[in-house]
A and B are shown apart, each in its own frame.
Chain A
């Protein structure tokens, strides 16, 4: 039941994006849209297709790589610091190399270690984004932006699934089924936050700052 709600909840940000942000040029939003769309396709494929069900763990591994790369790309887009951008590229390459090195084709199991490492890196990137947004000075910045909300959503997702990924290999199939609900719950929460971010974008985009509505800065001669 929860897994179905989780699957359906992935539709929510997609719908909100199409309704409110489809004309946006913010690349980060498009990345999250692609992430949500791919997520629902993966989950749907695993749930519906017999092959998918049979090779569920393999698909999860592929999805773990995709998830890490796409979230890494999201942070690459939203981060302004050059050093962090370089580190994201470096970590992505290292992650890919280690993932393939640690992956055993004969042993069709979820790559718990690399998924956890991926979660930790994304967690660090989320925290770095939040800290750098707040900045070293005490100048107040409008942190409650759609991008900030998306980062909060990602932070919740990786924080809540980190321990699940960490001990996934120690779980039996039954336990995996049982505890995988954590992933479903966090997925629902993240999708709601993503949707809220798209909605917030719509509101902020719809209502420009009041002064630009009321004050005409042009000279009558220029009009």
Chain B
């Protein structure tokens, strides 16, 4: 109607046409400019996110490499400091047989060498068990955790208990090891820093989700603390947890209990992801 009224005089036709066309063109140019700026902004934001992600990946990778190196150094030290001297001593005893012709002495030295070799076997077994706990390999996560908790309780400094509510089917061996290492790392942190008097672990599932929850009554972390420590240069163990969880595509939540008495750490995994081959899920 406005347009028709405007068209009533010849002069107005030019005006409507002029302003209408200019207006439409201005709107179009405005739209294109807006899209360009918006797109640039989105790309910049995305690049920033990518950079942050890369930095985070780098930190996790560094933590993982450092941890691996520490582990190697420990194994090297164990082999060099313990196994090496033991085997050298056994060799000395056996060498004695060549120079000493007395049968009694020979038997004694063979017996001593056998004792030392047995000790070395036990030592190597211990090193091997620290790399892959046999209970975990043979009987699964539940037994391995129970075993670990029994040792902690046995020390008398802390009461540790665990309960697996729904663990009929075992997870893949490599994933069980990763979860076990995460639990070990968390327990280690609790033992070192929390001054807790008890730890309780529960396992449960909900649909395809697999949960492990740790409760303790000591000083703990909240999610904010965990994220801050994850970004800082300290907290190698926590970074290690993060990198292990990344492999499993899992999540971890640190929180204080509703009663404000306990700290809770919840590990959440997706069994659907767990069932996929590892390289496929990556």
Contacts and interface: CB of A to CB of B under 8 A. Distances in A.
B21 A164 contact: yes
Contacts of B121: none
Nearest to A148: B35
A143 B32 CA distance: 11
B111 interface: no
B24 A163 contact: yes
Nearest to B4: A170
Interface string B11-41: 0011011001100110110011001001100
A182 B7 contact: no
A189 B127 CA distance: 77
Interface in A112-141: 127, 130, 134, 138-140
Contact of B28 (A159, A166, A167): A159
Contact of A166 (B3, B25, B39, B42): B3
Contacts of A177: none
A139 B13 contact: no
A143 B39 contact: yes
A170 B3 CA distance: 11
Q: Determine the main DSSP class of B at the interface with A.
A: helix
B61 interface: no
Interface in B231-263: none
A143 B35 contact: yes
Nearest to B10: A175
Q: Determine the main DSSP class of A at the interface with B.
A: helix
Contact of B20 (A127, A163, A171): A163
Interface size bracket, B side: 20 to 34
Contacts of A98: none
B40 to A, nearest CB: 9
Interface of A: 127, 130, 134, 138-140, 143, 152, 155-156, 159-164, 166-167, 170-171, 175, 179, 182
Nearest to A130: B35
A160 B20 CA distance: 8
B17 A160 contact: no
B46 interface: yes
B45 interface: yes
Contacts of B13: 167, 170-171, 175
Given A163-B21, A171-B13, 15 more contacts: A138-B45, A155-B32, A156-B25, A160-B24, A160-B28, A163-B16, A163-B17, A166-B20, A167-B7, A167-B13, A170-B13, A175-B13, A179-B14, A179-B17, A182-B21
